[in-house]
Amino acid sequence: MTMTAVQEKIRVQNLNLFYGDNQALYDIDLSMQAGSITAFIGPSGCGKSTLLRTLNRMNDLIPSVKITGEVLVDNQNIYADDTDVVSLRKRVGMVFQRPNPFPMSIYDNIAYGPRIHGIKRKRDLDEIVEKSLRQAALWEEVKDRLNKSAMGLSGGQQQRLCIARLLAVDPDVLLMDEPTSALDPISTLKVEELTQELKDKYSIIIVTHNMQQAARISDTTAFFLNGVMVEHGETDKLFTNPGDQRTEDYITGRFG
């Protein structure tokens, strides 16, 4: 895959989302580039996590959700009828708010993805497990206890394990839903550093309630309020010179 500087990875067009009769997202239009980090910020309940979950169709799991509009990943509408959701989710992976390792060994957690995608040879799996753990900066900490339960790791280690588990299926896009909200400051720092190292190879979209975090790590930032995308632009500009009064009120802490 060639990495041109400005390549559109995801485009959201005219997206509306309803939970039953309640509308949660209004006319979202948004474009995200490959190889960059986009942050979604906004007060809780503003729809930023909901939008994130439309990008790999995790909202399909909730029966009452209805969606209109389009989400294009690599110029393909993922809400088209012939979309294969399973291979979409392999390309667009997700890290959740709370670390959610499976109750298995560390090794089996990482090998889970490759295995379900048909890789059976032990040698291949070993290689993928090591590579993914190294990428997630976890290898040195766990290499001597790969066969121990992943539930015995600390919260920060568990979250990096979940990132490694995701890298093992080789996605293009990483969706991160407040990945550090359940972590201590040191673990948070480690995950933030990790995103910087990964952003060359992956398009990353991160939902965060922490504005400093968004300012530290993202290239562009989108601000949401009550299901509406108020503003989307380069992070530096959005935080220093917002184009909308509501954005300014939020980032200066007048509400939120």
Partner 1 sequence: MDIAIKETHDDRCASAPPSWNNRRRRADRMMHWLFIGSAAFVSLIIFSIILFVGSQGLKTFADVSVLQFFSLDWTPSENKFGAGVFILGSFIVTGLALVLAVPFAVLGAVFMSKIAPNWMREIMRPATDLFVGIPSVVYGLVGLTTFVPIVGKLTGTAGFGVLPAALILAIMILPTILSVSEDAIRTLPGSLEEASYALGATRWQTIRKVLIPAATPGILTGVILGMGRAIGEAMAVQMVIGNAPLLPKGLGDPTSVLTTQIVKEMLNAPFGSTLSNSLFLMSLVLLLVSLSLILIIRIVARRRAV
Partner 2 sequence: MNSKLTNRLATGMFWLVGLGILAILAWFLWHILSAGLPHISWKFLTKKPEEMLSGGGIGPQLFNSFYILALSLLFSIPFGVGAGIWLSEYAKKNRFTDLVRLATEMLASVPSIVFGLFGLLVFVTTLHMGYSIIGGALTLSLLNLPVLVRVTEETLRAVPDSYREASLALGATKWQTIRKVLLPTALPGLVTGITLVAGRALGESAILIFTAGVSVSRFAPDFNVMASGETLAVHLWYVRSEGLVPDATQIAEGTAALLVLVVLILNLVIALPSRFLQRKMAGKSS
Interacting residue ranges for partner 1, rule: CB under 8 A:
1, 84, 86-87, 90, 114, 116-119, 121, 124, 128, 131, 134-135, 168-170, 201
Nearer to partner 1, 135 or 208 (CB): 135
Query: How many residues are recorded in the chain?
Result: 256
Q: Which does 163 bind (CB under 5 to 8 A by kind): partner 1, partner 2, none?
A: none
Q: Which does 128 bind (CB under 5 to 8 A by kind): partner 2, partner 1, none?
A: partner 1
- Least distance (Å) between residue 52 CB and partner 2: 11
- Least distance (Å) between residue 249 CB and partner 1: 39
CA neighbor of 17 nearest in space, from 49, 41, 51 = 51
Residues within window 82-111 making contact with partner 2, judged by CB under 8 A: 86-91, 93-94, 96, 98, 100-104
Residues within window 170-229 making contact with partner 2, judged by CB under 8 A: none
Taking CB under 8 A as the binding criterion, the range among 10-18, 55-63, 128-136, 209-217 that sits at the site for partner 2 is 55-63
Residue window 144-163: x/- pattern of binding to partner 2, with contact defined by CB under 8 A = -x--xxxxx---------x-
- Least distance (Å) between residue 241 CB and partner 2: 36
Nearer to partner 1, 128 or 205 (CB): 128
State the SS3 of the chain. CCCCCCCEEEEEEEEEEEECCEEEEEEEEEEEECCCEEEEECCCCCCHHHHHHHCCCHHHHCCCEEEEEEEEECCEECCCCCCCHHHHHHHEEEECCCCCCCCCEHHHHHHHHHHHCCCCCHHHHHHHHHHHHHHCCCHHHHHHHCCCEHHHCCHHHHHHHHHHHHHCCCCCEEEEECCCCCCCHHHHHHHHHHHHHHCCCCEEEEECCCHHHHHHHCCEEEEEECCEEEEEEEHHHHHHCCCCHHHHHHHCCCCC
Q: Which residues bind partner 2 (CB under 8 A)?
A: 56, 58, 61, 63, 86-91, 93-94, 96, 98, 100-104, 112-113, 115-117, 145, 148-152, 162, 165-166, 169
